[in-house]
Structure 1
């Protein structure tokens, strides 16, 4: 706990955030400061194994973009969205080109996924479309199932309309990729076996989280893709 904090001050700030979460217009800077100063209490409760329902009641802003970003940075030292978008700018074009060309020569499932994306072209534009395409092609490359990561709901639905129908692990509704990924870290959730390769690739190449190889060896499938991308980049730029 920060030296300037006490159990009582942490509780007071927690109650203040609960009240603020019910308001429609909040000051993001104020929320960020409150979440940062109560990080100790948040993560202590998470480490004790509190249920998601209880955590949502106790720390509602950690389930929102501003709060999760602050919590993730306190935990990892990485700015969640800033790191992802910086990596996206540098690596998106190369990765999409590789997945849509070179990899389709070896993996029929990637070729089929790429063909489906061409059919649906125009539904999304720019960065959003590229991110969607990238994740779908990565899932196809690693032979992992889209339906485990993506859950399709009507745009008019509210959170309470769908929450009981969702899996207990993080998934993407619409394109909340950063928050989906951040949830695994903020709430101490293991990667799903069905998505392990895709999530580890995103972890290492887009969120720049690379644990010591001795403690956590790189997934062989992920290592192969990283090596192939490096080789492809060298060949196409030479």
Structure 2
């Protein structure tokens, strides 16, 4: 690194700038190094080595023309060359910010895989989590999720191929550390299961807000996973009156078209083009394109992984799958079987020739429902219902139906049903790549579903092993 920067002597350190170190060090490490150079502290740890003399092969001695080697602590390096310890952090710096794993306590098998940038086996990964949590608990008996996230994020950034949620094709789920974070936090909770003194308690929310005080409440669901929402300003040149007139004109023009349905006369057109366009406006994600890419890229991996499971319901689904079956439909059924969610919570099977009029509203849930015409494995068409009313279809192409069905949760600002939340969150995170760090479209959840995180980790491990 120093040779590339042109540093040949200790005096040259004064000419190094922080931007010169961007490609070699992390921002905080760069600032620490620059601060040490300015205060004259770094030179105390430098090992002076004289420049090699071609005419004298003997060992060099210090001279005016010198080069130096920086200490290992200042440079990122694999565990084989720099085995940092979990020593006390600097004064004023939280321990989890400057936490360093003691690799001497990690098994040689894991260390070897990390050096080769390979993923540890599941048992090795569990052993690594045990060692990591033991070292973390030396600083805090019950680290919070934020503390665990800080430590895990540092490890994943240093060794993304070994511990990150990175697929074989380079696709990353969220910030890449959800699965390892979940394992670490679960281990912390297990270690503190009988330790009442180390429990963390949140401040109780007031039932009634006092005058002039803002009551603590859950954030709005409509912001979850969205890049833009709830515009405060009207379009340029428009007023409330002109928009109302435009809505009435659209209702008069399109109300007679069977392919477009308006929900409760609100002026919201329920059509494939409308849903896909509005979903893209909210999330910056092309829902149909993303689903097609996900099925082609990860569909076979899900099928192969499920074939290794000893689950009767999953085996029943795979037994009905043949080359003529719809792969997307099979994958959706497999996911619901894996998460032990009833298919009736998201889908309804009707007669192949059924239309919107033929579907019994008594059987439809209040949440969005994907209505399948014919066999689930070989659907001839689909419809979508919202709030117990069929608002779209029938249409062909099952994957288009999944895209329209999922988009409706964002377009109409609806929560995932509890009975099918894991499947929908897996589609959201794994297929569409919508990975907010906080919040949820499910009640009483503010982080990633642990079942979704576990399945994602197992799929990545299976993908790399195959």
Query: Higher strand fraction: Structure 1 or Structure 2?
Result: 2
In 2, Cα distance between the equivalents of 1:169 and 1:84? 21
Q: For 1:147-226, list aligned pairs within 5 A.
A: 147-162=344-359, 164-165=361-362, 166-174=364-372, 175=398, 176-213=401-438, 216-226=446-456
In 2, Cα distance between the equivalents of 1:209 and 1:187? 17
Contact 1:18 1:60 in 2 (8 A): no
Q: Given the alignment of the two structures, is residue 57 of structure 1 paired with residue 265 of structure 2, yes or no?
A: yes
1:76 is aligned to 283
Offset, 1:233:
0.6
| Aligned partner of residue 172 in structure 1, secondary structure | strand
* TM-score, structure 2 normalization: 0.40
Unaligned ranges ≥5, structure 2: 1-233, 373-397, 441-445
2:250 is aligned to 17
Cα RMSD (Å) of the superposition?
A: 2.5
Q: Given the alignment of the two structures, is residue 8 of structure 1 paired with residue 235 of structure 2, yes or no?
A: no
In 2, Cα distance between the equivalents of 1:191 and 1:24? 30
In 1, Cα distance between the equivalents of 2:265 and 2:354? 21
Q: For 1:86-105, list aligned pairs within 5 A.
A: 86-99=293-306, 101-102=307-308, 104-105=309-310
In 2, Cα distance between the equivalents of 1:170 and 1:9? 31
Post-superposition Cα deviations, 1:69-90, rounded to whole Å, max 9, x if no partner, equal 1221222222221222222222
In 2, Cα distance between the equivalents of 1:76 and 1:160? 33
Residues 89 and 16 from structure 1, CA distance in 2 versus in 1: closer, same or farther, beyond 3 angstroms? farther
| Aligned partner of residue 359 in structure 2, secondary structure | helix
Q: Flag the structure with larger Rg.
A: 2
In 2, Cα distance between the equivalents of 1:199 and 1:177? 10
| Aligned partner of residue 435 in structure 2, secondary structure | coil
In 1, Cα distance between the equivalents of 2:256 and 2:262? 20
Contact 2:248 2:267 in 1 (8 A): no
In 2, Cα distance between the equivalents of 1:18 and 1:163? 26
Query: Higher helix fraction: Structure 1 or Structure 2?
Result: 1
Residues 133 and 189 from structure 1, CA distance in 2 versus in 1: closer, same or farther, beyond 3 angstroms? same
Q: Given the alignment of the two structures, is residue 235 of structure 1 paired with residue 465 of structure 2, yes or no?
A: yes
| Aligned partner of residue 68 in structure 1, secondary structure | helix
In 1, Cα distance between the equivalents of 2:461 and 2:361? 45
| Aligned partner of residue 161 in structure 1, secondary structure | coil
Post-superposition Cα deviations, 1:78-122, rounded to whole Å, max 9, x if no partner, equal 2221222222222212122212x22x23x332223222x24xx46
Offset, 1:214:
7.5
* Structure 1 ranges of 4+ moved more than 4 A: 23-26
**How many matched pairs?**
200
Offset, 1:169:
0.5
In 2, Cα distance between the equivalents of 1:68 and 1:208? 18
Unaligned ranges ≥5, structure 1: 32-52
Post-superposition Cα deviations, 1:114-147, rounded to whole Å, max 9, x if no partner, equal 22x24xx46x54xxx0011000011111111112
Offset, 1:156:
2.9
